[in-house]
Amino acid sequence: MALLADGVSRLLIDGKLTSGGAGGFATVNPATEEVLGEAANADAADMDRAIGAARRAFDETDWSTNTELRVRCIRQLREAMLEHVEELRDLTIADVGAPRMLTAGAQLEGPINDLSFAADTAENYEWTQDLGEASPMGIPTRRSVVREAVGVVGAITPWNFPHQINLAKLGPALAAGNTVVLKPAPDTPWVAAVLGELIAEKTDIPPGVVNIVTSTDHALGAMLAKDQRVDLVSFTGSTATGRSVMADAAATIKKVFLELGGKSAFLVLDDADLAAACSVAGFSVCLHAGQGCAITTRLVVPRARYDEAVAIAAGTMGSIKAGDPSKPGTICGPVISARQRDRVQSYLDLAIEEGGTFACGGGRPADQPAGFFIEPTVIAGLTNEARVAREEIFGPVLTVIPHDGDDDAVRIANDSPYGLSATVYGADAERAAGVAARLRAGTVNVNGGVWYSADMPFGGYKQSGNGREMGVAGFEEYLEIKAIATAAN
Ligand code: NAD
């Protein structure tokens, strides 16, 4: 079987691959601006059927209680994706603009392999915990705590790391016994649609358990948040949309789990190897053109060495060219769309208006006539009060900010509406760990440690969201807790 053989993707609703009620829409290669093909454009009636199918599959089949079936199906999906991994790699590079290099990790193979973690967790999980006998209020009682699926999950995802985010929701949600309606971003519909093909053709996942609804209409996401047949919404995207999802979900008091934006800080302490730290900071902001929610986009350095730090970061970023993501050496590809490129450019213009300067970059690369490219850019001369230091840009843009010692560095890092991630570099490991402990962020890298892994929880403080994805904590987001008390005599 070849994926997307006719260049047209379909919806997966109630076990069937179908076309969309609103016809089709073009999906575009962001590196070339060429139309790749067509995706099914679902309408509200399609979404209504998908929610109905997920509800029926949850209420009327043994999916939620048959752990053996679920574990088998998740492993089948993993195998099917691995079998087609080279096709998926080409597709991911073309649909997402993801650099080839990153498809060996978080853009493709990482999340495929991480499906094992979801299956293994379900297989080994203590679904029922025996709390033993007690006599609350004098009544002898045998007590147990049972964990069971929440029900129908609405999963709404963005375009930047679509396999990672689609699978980090699907894997644990299914492993926990839920049924799912996945509404991916319209910018990367094919990455989600191929999952539908593989599920329908290569797994025993029963009809209705997974429904995949691609659409240009964002209101279909809002339908998931509002519909009372949906029990939980798992959302990854911008903070503004997350706020709207939370408000829409309030009417039915459904559980809402949000992974949102970030403006994470990279703290360089005064005993750190400045050259190494600032090079790493510059390099990491270029990965996938900076389109990562947890990328550290504020480089906070000792004031006495500010100019040196700016020069090092600019030396690294100035040497990285935004270019063809299909080439093995590329780390900075295009941003996803003309709209996103223009948004990043408007922040670059704002940096100058705010009194900043560019130590490198600052606009579109002259050598890329087509494609949505932005030059890796270092902004200098601003403080943490500048809008470019406070708002998420989502491009290959680093703002360098001076600090006056550890307390000031911590203050600057925490002075943000967001709290997704942070990095600390310092030669004295104990001191660096002490700084890390004071940061209000969901993931912290100390001296180059890697927090991204299937068994590590990922998520944010403050307006970066609530709840955790991945790890056992991420699995348990998809579970209800039932306390059962049985009279002992
Ligand atoms: P977005 O918020 O515009 O869209 C995300 C998804 O929500 C899309 O599927 C979209 O169709 C849908 N949507 C839009 N309006 C909706 C509504 N009113 N109700 C329900 N669904 C709606 O985000 P984006 O531009 O696709 O992605 C970029 C953003 O995602 C960035 O802010 C980034 O930080 C964030 N992000 C966060 C994480 C994380 O784990 N914290 C990971 C990746 C991306």
Q: DSSP for 395-416?
A: SSEEEEEEESSHHHHHHHHHSS
Which residue in 38, 109, 197, 259 is the catalytic one? 259
* Contacts (Cβ under 8 Å, ≥6 apart) of 385: none
Give the integer Cα–Cα distance in Å for 14 and 345. Answer: 43
Ligand 1 nearest atom to the CA of residue 241, by list position: 2
pLDDT of residue 150: 98
Is 259 considered catalytic here?
Answer: yes
Give 184 Cα–ligand 1 centroid separation in angstroms.
9
245 lines ligand 1 (CB under 6 A): yes
Give the integer Cα–Cα distance in Å for 340 and 74. Answer: 34
Ligand 1 nearest atom to the CA of residue 156, by list position: 9
Among 462, 357, 348, which Cα is nearest to 400's? 357
pLDDT of residue 69: 98
Give 248 Cα–ligand 1 centroid separation in angstroms.
15
218 lines ligand 1 (CB under 6 A): yes
With the CA atoms of 449, 379, 238 and 258 taken in that order, what torsion angle do they form, in degrees rounded to the nearest 10?
30
Give 241 Cα–ligand 1 centroid separation in angstroms.
6
Ligand 1, atom 16, residue with closest C-alpha: 218
Give 79 Cα–ligand 1 centroid separation in angstroms.
29
Residue at 199: amino acid letter: I
Low-confidence ranges of the chain (pLDDT < 50): none
Instruction: Dump pLDDT digits (tens) for 209-227.
Output: 999 999 999 999 999 999 9
Ligand 1, atom 21, residue with closest C-alpha: 221
Give 393 Cα–ligand 1 centroid separation in angstroms.
14
DSSP annotation of 206 reads: P
pLDDT of residue 408: 98
Q: Which of 241, 347, 468, 470 to mutate to test the pocket of ligand 1 (most atoms within 8 A of CB)?
A: 241
Ligand 1 nearest atom to the CA of residue 248, by list position: 19
For residues 229 and 179, the answer to whether their CB atoms sit within 8 Å is no
pTM for this model (two decimals): 0.98
Ligand 1 nearest atom to the CA of residue 158, by list position: 26
For residues 470 and 114, the answer to whether their CB atoms sit within 8 Å is yes
Phi, psi of 156 (to 5 degrees): -120, 125
Give 165 Cα–ligand 1 centroid separation in angstroms.
11
pLDDT of residue 176: 98
Give the integer Cα–Cα distance in Å for 290 and 277. Answer: 18
Give the integer Cα–Cα distance in Å for 208 and 56. Answer: 7
Helix-strand-coil split of the chain, %, nearest 5: 40, 25, 35
244 lines ligand 1 (CB under 6 A): yes
395 lines ligand 1 (CB under 6 A): no
Ligand 1 nearest atom to the CA of residue 215, by list position: 11
261 lines ligand 1 (CB under 6 A): yes
Give 131 Cα–ligand 1 centroid separation in angstroms.
41
Ligand 1, atom 42, residue with closest C-alpha: 293
Give the integer Cα–Cα distance in Å for 59 and 229. Answer: 11
Question: Helix 219-226 to helix 239-250 angle, to the nearest 10 degrees?
Answer: 40
394 lines ligand 1 (CB under 6 A): yes
259 lines ligand 1 (CB under 6 A): yes
Give 335 Cα–ligand 1 centroid separation in angstroms.
15
DSSP annotation of 378 reads: E
Give 379 Cα–ligand 1 centroid separation in angstroms.
26
384 lines ligand 1 (CB under 6 A): no
Q: Which of 96, 159, 212, 218 to mutate to test the pocket of ligand 1 (most atoms within 8 A of CB)?
A: 218
Q: Give me the sign of the Cα torsion angle 10, 11, 14, 18.
A: negative
pLDDT of residue 1: 86
Give the integer Cα–Cα distance in Å for 346 and 47. Answer: 35
Q: Which regions of 303-366 does DSSP assign to beta strands (E)?
A: 357-360
Among 360, 395, 393, which Cα is nearest to 289's? 395
pLDDT of residue 23: 98
pLDDT of residue 489: 79
pLDDT of residue 109: 98
Q: Which of 96, 156, 287, 296 to mutate to test the pocket of ligand 1 (most atoms within 8 A of CB)?
A: 156
Ligand 1 nearest atom to the CA of residue 469, by list position: 40
Ligand 1 nearest atom to the CA of residue 159, by list position: 26
